[in-house]
Amino acid sequence: MLEGKKVLLAVSGSIAAYKTAFFVRLLVKAGAEVKVVMTNSAKEFITPLTLATLSKNPVYSSFTSNDQGEWNSHVELGLWADIMVIAPLTANTLSKMANGACDNLLTAVYLSARCPVMVCPAMDLDMYQHPSTLKNLDTISGYGNLIIEAEHGELASGLVGDGRMAEPEHIIQKLESFFSKKESFRGKKVMITSGPTYESIDPVRFIGNHSSGKMGKAIALELAARGATIDFITGPSVNLPEHTNISIIPILSANEMLIEAKKHFENTDIAVFAAAVADYRPETIAENKIKKKDEQLNIALVPNPDIAKEMGQIKSNQFTVGFALETDQEDINAQKKLENKNFDMIVLNSLRNEGAGFAHDTNKVSIFDKHNNRHDFELKTKSQVATDLVDLIEKALHD
């Protein structure tokens, strides 16, 4: 699977850098061509000579490589690679990547690379859990970078927890599955609804909900990574997927979402309804800001259109996927929704499960399809849930 693939390994300064010797050996054994860039601090942990010998290529760590001032082009390195793997990724290099800082060859190559980028963080457990690290990982995931999460175990500090760089064999597996899946959705058009809707009460107020849009974003990035082209219709959210294959279509209310869904659904192969659409909207929107008074204020609400249901009624060959967030009789309600909205597949997440639901980065789901198949999954990150869901969609389309 990795035969002939050009892998650019970027090593930053962490004790886990010692594992890259073994990683390079595995890559070469699998038939990949390997070039290595490293930061100066990475050289404290593993020598360029070791990596040059194993990769059979010179190792680059600065913009010039000898006394004659020969230029190491960061642009050429980035264009050469089929994939750039940053392993180990330190908190420092991560922070530079998230912010566009460019003070060494590794970050310059990162900024100019056109190929996909996979990162393998390695940190002590508290660093790995720090809000700034989580924010930076979220930011680069929004750039479309693939994150191979750190593994659990004993850390160099002696502490035990999450933070160990993924084992080289595991990174190889991720690379193999990345290259095997890469083209699987090429030519497919996908429509995704995501985020909350805001239903105006007056010019300054609205009825909304806590949907973060994280699940829709993860699904969009997963499908885009596999070659699909995506119309991403989203309510107000800070979680927007950035990828050249994704067009963002911002809307505010359910009615606006319906207009956009109708425009795009006809030419869609797959539609994923991940939006938390408000069920009701105020009957009228006050022209001016409603003044505070002492008496009770009643706002008459009318039902919103059910976007997924309407698309289900007009669908021809589209493969449609819905979501159900249930608090009781979860399975029965999810199956009913599957039929009622004419979905091919429905993802159930129960609010009873800790770590599942709106604002969390994790989700625990069961996925049902219209042929009565059921798949139960463990609590996972939303990007892993997206991988599981997209794997099932891919399988269903091929069956």
Q: Is residue 233 within 8 Å of residue 192, measured between CB atoms?
A: yes
* 9, 97, 122, 254: which one binds ligand C5P (CB under 6 A): 254
Distances (CA, A) of 253 to 249, 257, 289: 13, 6, 18
What strands, in cross-sheet order, belong to the sheet with 117-121? 59-60, 33-38, 6-11, 83-89, 117-121, 146-147
By annotation, the residues acting in catalysis are 209
Give CA–CA dist 281/196, Å, rounded.
13
Nearer to ligand C5P, 256 or 306 (CB): 306
* 2, 83, 233, 307: which one binds ligand C5P (CB under 6 A): 307
Chain centre distance of CA 392: 17
* 19, 35, 337, 360: which one binds ligand C5P (CB under 6 A): 337
**Residue 323 touches ligand C5P, criterion: CB under 6 A:** yes
Give CA–CA dist 29/23, Å, rounded.
10
**Residue 20 touches ligand C5P, criterion: CB under 6 A:** no
Judged by CB under 6 A, the stretch of 83-91, 206-214, 271-279, 355-363 that binds ligand C5P is 271-279
**Residue 348 touches ligand C5P, criterion: CB under 6 A:** no
Nearer to ligand C5P, 33 or 260 (CB): 260
Give CA–CA dist 337/366, Å, rounded.
14
Q: Is residue 18 within 8 Å of residue 38, measured between CB atoms?
A: no
**Residue 211 touches ligand C5P, criterion: CB under 6 A:** no
* 107, 239, 304, 381: which one binds ligand C5P (CB under 6 A): 304
Judged by CB under 6 A, the stretch of 127-135, 144-152, 283-291, 304-312 that binds ligand C5P is 304-312
DSSP letter for each residue of 208-243: -----SHHHHHHHHHHHHTT-EEEEEE-S-S-----
Q: Is 117 exposed, middle or buried (0-12, 13-18, 19+ CB in 10 A)?
A: buried
Nearer to ligand C5P, 265 or 273 (CB): 273
**Residue 148 touches ligand C5P, criterion: CB under 6 A:** no
**Residue 386 touches ligand C5P, criterion: CB under 6 A:** no
Residue ranges that bind ligand C5P, judged by CB under 6 A = 193, 254, 273-275, 277, 304, 306-308, 322-324, 337, 341
